[in-house]
Chain A
């Protein structure tokens, strides 16, 4: 079904514009047109459908739900809700405080915050359309694992020692006083019309927020696609020496992007022969470890905690990279080299 976009790009570039399929510009342009049309078409449809189904999952109810679960389910739930809850990074402080002051352990809150930027419906749709479902599945599993693992390590280190005073106090209070069984606020029941309005607003807001990222991401991906010779990574970076992964993680750090901008670049990197694990490590580091967000979290925690979280994340990305490189011959017989 998705080849109509390939054919559309064929028709526009080779038919209408009459470009030569062998030139570099041309294969870049083809990549650009095929991917942007495909991504936008799928996004518009899928965001709307998902928003319809999801209207309206609110954070208070998510919190109450997690609060009443045992600790070990908690990590998984934290990461799952992080993945499905629509969430803007500027809400991370209030969310952090809301969870913490409800007595939810730090590790569970952080599992939510780690997973949230890595997995969202936009990322999943894009991965699926560009790299196929096997890859998407691996990506989601890894994203959750990074979140859950990060949260558990943080609790094992007793990270809550290094919260800011007022946050720590709120957390203590909540954990000492047994939570009363206040029922979760009732779900506002929405009529079909209200759901449509919600979905339409959601669509407008998400597209307005991400269209630039898609253009930039696909543009860079297209440039890589046309101008970097096949096999360049294998020739210049070696094919999968262990140090490639840390290099990729550190290279991703200063790049501040969201999943939307990075996924088209991943597609190109993989097609050009960068090992899948290395590519994933680069992508996660770009998306989930961004300085602006870390600086924001400084408002509620001490430097020590912030530093610890940072180290845990980077270590996790490297482990993911190595592990996937090791396993990729079995995971992706299709395109991994």
Chain B
């Protein structure tokens, strides 16, 4: 089970990112727990400057926009 955190203060892009992550993970049959992190201190902890950001198992893997499908696949399978 991968722990996927979507970092962002709660704008629409972050919601979209979380939904797409879940959708793609579902299709690939990967078990994930997607969680939205909105606490500024936590986001600062990851040193993200442009949201939405994505952290998988506590490691920042993406920041600065809604990732496209291709990118999500490679993040989840990495």
Contacts and interface: CB of A to CB of B under 8 A. Distances in A.
Check if A and B associate.
yes
Interface residues of A, number: 21
Interface stretch (A55-63, A76-84, A307-315): A55-63
Q: Kindly name the residue among B7, B12, B41 whose own CB sees the greatest number of chain A CB atoms within 10 A.
A: B41
Contacts, number: 58
A299 B51 contact: no
Interface in B34-57: 40-41, 43-44, 47-51, 53
A85 to B, nearest CB: 10
Contacts of B47: 98, 101
Given A58-B64, A101-B44, A300-B40, A95 B49 contact: yes
Contacts of B53: 94
B40 A299 contact: yes
A98 B49 contact: yes
B13 A59 contact: no
B36 to A, nearest CB: 13
Contacts of B40: 93-94, 97, 166-167, 299-300
A90 B51 contact: yes
Contacts of A101: 44, 47
A127 B10 CA distance: 32
Q: Chain A at the B interface: mostly helix, strand, loop or mixed?
A: helix
B43 A93 contact: yes
A299 B49 contact: no
Interface in A154-191: 166-167, 170
Residue with the greatest number of chain A CB neighbours at <10 A, chosen from B7, B12, B50, B51: B50
21 contacts: A59-B49, A59-B50, A88-B13, A89-B11, A90-B12, A90-B14, A91-B50, A91-B51, A93-B9, A93-B51, A94-B9, A94-B48, A94-B53, A95-B49, A95-B50, A97-B40, A97-B49, A98-B49, A166-B44, A296-B9, A299-B40
